[in-house]
Amino acid sequence: MLLTPLGEVTLRPVRPGRDGAMLHAWLTHPRSHFWDCQDASEEDIRHEYTDLDAWIISLDGEDIALLERYVPAESVLKDLVPHLPAGTMGMHFLVAPPRSTPRPGLTRTLFSTAVRWMLEDAPALVVEPDERNEAILAMNKLAGFRDLPGYTQYALPNKTARVQLLERGDFLASRVASLSTTHTPVENPARVTGIDAAERELIAKMLREFIHERLLSPRRLADGYTVQVGPHILSFQAEEHALEHLSIDPNSIACAEGPLPALTQLVADAAEALEIPEHFRATYLGEISATLAGQRRIRQSPRQSSAELADPAGDTPAQYYLRIESAMTQGHPSFLANAGRDGMSESDILAYAPEFGAATRLVWLAARKELAVEAISEDPQLAGQFSQLCAGVPDGYTPIPVHPWQWEHRIVPNFSDSLASGDLVFLGEGTDLMRPQQSLRTFFNASQPLSPYVKTAVAVRNMGFTRGLSPEYMRDTPRINDWLHQTLGSDPIFRQHNVRLLREFAATGFVGDVYHGLGTKNEFTKMLAGLWRESPIGHLPEGAHAVTLAAILHRDSEGNALVEQWIKRSGLDAAEWVRRLLRVYLTPVLRALLAHDIVFMPHSENVVVELTDFAPSGSFFKDLGEEAAVVRHSTKVPVPRMQADDGSFTDAQRALSVHTDVLDGVLRHVAALLDDASVLHEPLFWQLVRECVEEYPGDTSSILVPEFRHSCLNRLQLKNPLTMVELGDQESSLLYAGTIRNPLA
């Protein structure tokens, strides 16, 4: 729809059968004599418009103008194509003869809408009016058309044409551009009243995780639980699990004093007890509200069941990987406010959020090398891949991938001086279709699945961080990945269990801007960088599939677990299936820590599981450059920032990478899900985990301690939703709530 001062304008394709009589009346009218249809019959008109790309323009529902589009190379202007910008489209425009009293400005307004609509899909328009048609030539001038030099008297079969060209910028600066605007009708995305299922689910998650982190203290009664949330007393039914985890029935939650308050109201009323700093309360509540809006948005879109998701029939490995990836709708299992995406509009989220599976093209820039970071793996094969990626980049420049959102909202307005000076060169959109992954700023190449992931900067705050990328960190990323590959890639236990690292083998970033010149770290110094990471698809054997570890925690809209479907299809009993999962997930984490003093951030989005015959047969660990660290001061590191131990670390501190990130962060949720679904009894699950630890050929006493420090993620976000931890000193940023009993003890 387009809006004008005269009313709403819409366009629809011409239907020759229905519109023939109307078009005949328009085209044979004396005012239309330049169209050369004065002697045409109605049947002639119907026949002519059968094969044309023609559109009817309506004003407030009244058909009032005709627009034709054509490709110049397929028209009488084919010889002029070399003189036209790539992608130029041709147009013809006709206003219907007046039916009543003329409306001032009608033709000018309709012409503005026609040109604006055409320029949405083309960079330029070409027209070839009869040189005698003074009315249309005057209108063209008002819209910004210019004569194509040398073709002001161009001989065509039925006229001498004055060929004119209009580029988008000239139209936007013209006298008629302001007469029309493209409009997308505003809708209410929620379409709910009261406390709906999505909100009950998040209230249940709030209670579960805040109780787990000892922010709330429930009382167990004979028929359930009660808990005080600010001034409210809530009751609910729940199943109790290890690690102080309650599986709460969302439909059982009730409020003693009346209707159940909204989620944001509950948190707002309990803000002081939850220790949310006053100056951060609105920010945190906004992120909760956005997370709830996201869950409602997801529930209103069609979703595949777990049974459908479990079936890869007809999919290539890449297609199945992407199908599972876009089905992940719950986000981080522990964080309550896990999808704030502050800075993205409703239309941005529909375009770029991974759960909607939309593909996009990245924007590509080239940065002058002396003003850029360019870091490449020492592996010749991977370095060769980067050389191929640089094809088409000007000499003396290095490529930088840019998220389309980042280009529009940050680079164009904030780096205009660098673009104007040539320190940054706009290369245009890439040709490959890229699919956003769960991390929001990382893209999988849907056009060429063997090609690397591309990670970009996007200045959107989500889950406690603005998702930028630091060129300073990019400088070291390939070196860190090379070292990890050399250290772990040939490790016998990694090889035995088919565990691989997806290396970030190239990284670039721009440091020649005025913001880096300030000499201080700020949000603008993390806006323009990117990296390339290996794809898992090329490493899969025949018949295997890759899926995100997050899928192990997925439930469909009916509450059915995806992992249950995979277990059934595998033909294995649940215990054996879990045993295989632990060997490709927990075992490599233990090996990296206990043999090499290396820790990862192995949350469920950072691990890809290989499935063969629907059972775990291998894994891939990713997101290594920023997250991997060394936790023993005496261990040599390739770059200083990898060293997390200042010399004071104890074995108990080192083991927290397993206790917090694996046992509490992932396996706690898996154990509860399998037990709640009656797939695997929880005591047996934790017995299998202990057996996996005991299988490790080394001292695991630090892992099997009776209790460990209780690290709390939501407490971090409640304390500071803008910056939860400092990447360079994560250990000192962590918050603890005493100790918690180890389910492996």
Report yes or no on 43 lying in a domain.
yes
The whole-angstrom distance between residue 574's C-alpha and the CA centroid of its chain comes to 33
Residues 625 and 726 in one domain: yes
pLDDT category at 100 given cuts 50, 70, 90 is confident
Question: What CATH code is carried by the domain that includes residue 51?
Answer: 3.40.630.30
List, in sequence order, every residue forming a beta bridge with 130; answer none if it has no partner.
Answer: 161
Residues 358 and 256 in one domain: no
DSSP state of 701: T
Whether the predicted pLDDT of 395 surpasses 70:
yes
Residues 531 and 550 in one domain: no
Question: What CATH code is carried by the domain that includes residue 278?
Answer: 3.30.310.280
Say which amino acid occupies 609: V
Residue 134's pLDDT is 95
Question: What CATH code is carried by the domain that includes residue 575?
Answer: 1.10.510.40
Whether the predicted pLDDT of 392 surpasses 80:
yes
Domain limit, last residue, from 153, 182, 211: 182
How far apart CA 608 and CA 622 sit, in angstroms, is 8
Report yes or no on 156 lying in a domain.
yes
Report yes or no on 309 lying in a domain.
no
pLDDT tens-place string over residues 26-85: 999 999 999 999 999 999 999 999 999 999 999 999 999 999 999 999 999 999 999 999
Mean pLDDT of the chain: 95
Query: Residue 458 in contact with residue 553, Cβ under 8 Å?
Result: no
CB atoms within 10 A of CB 421: 11
Domain limit, last residue, from 522, 539, 556: 539
Residues 401 and 488 in one domain: yes
Report yes or no on 329 lying in a domain.
no
Residues 564 and 500 in one domain: no
Q: Is 317 helix (H, G, I), strand (E, B) or coil?
A: helix
Report yes or no on 331 lying in a domain.
no
Query: Residue 340 in contact with residue 287, Cβ under 8 Å?
Result: yes
Residue 99's pLDDT is 76
Residue 465's pLDDT is 84
Report yes or no on 324 lying in a domain.
no
How far apart CA 219 and CA 214 sit, in angstroms, is 13
Whether the predicted pLDDT of 492 surpasses 60:
yes
185 φ, ψ (degrees, to nearest 5): -55, 140
Domain of residue 702, residue span? 544-744
DSSP E strand boundaries for 598-735: 598-599, 607-612, 615-621, 629-630, 707-711
Residues 572 and 528 in one domain: no
Residues 158 and 47 in one domain: yes
Domain count, the chain: 4
Report yes or no on 38 lying in a domain.
yes
How far apart CA 617 and CA 496 sit, in angstroms, is 11
Residues 412 and 269 in one domain: no
Residue 732's pLDDT is 67
Q: Is the pTM of this model over 0.95?
A: no
Q: Which residue's entry shows tokens 């013809």?
A: 92
pLDDT tens-place string over residues 268-291: 999 999 999 999 999 999 999 999
How far apart CA 647 and CA 634 sit, in angstroms, is 8
pLDDT category at 186 given cuts 50, 70, 90 is confident
Residues 80 and 110 in one domain: yes
Domain limit, last residue, from 132, 155, 182: 182
Residues 209 and 259 in one domain: yes
**Mean pLDDT for the stretch of residues 4-27:** 95
Report yes or no on 190 lying in a domain.
no
Residues 222 and 365 in one domain: no
How far the first Cα of the chain sits from its last, in Å, is 65
DSSP E strand boundaries for 97-192: 124-127, 146-147, 154-156, 159-161, 164-167, 181-182
**Mean pLDDT for the stretch of residues 591-601:** 97
pLDDT tens-place string over residues 660-709: 999 999 999 999 999 999 999 999 999 999 999 999 999 999 999 999 99
Residues 291 and 369 in one domain: no
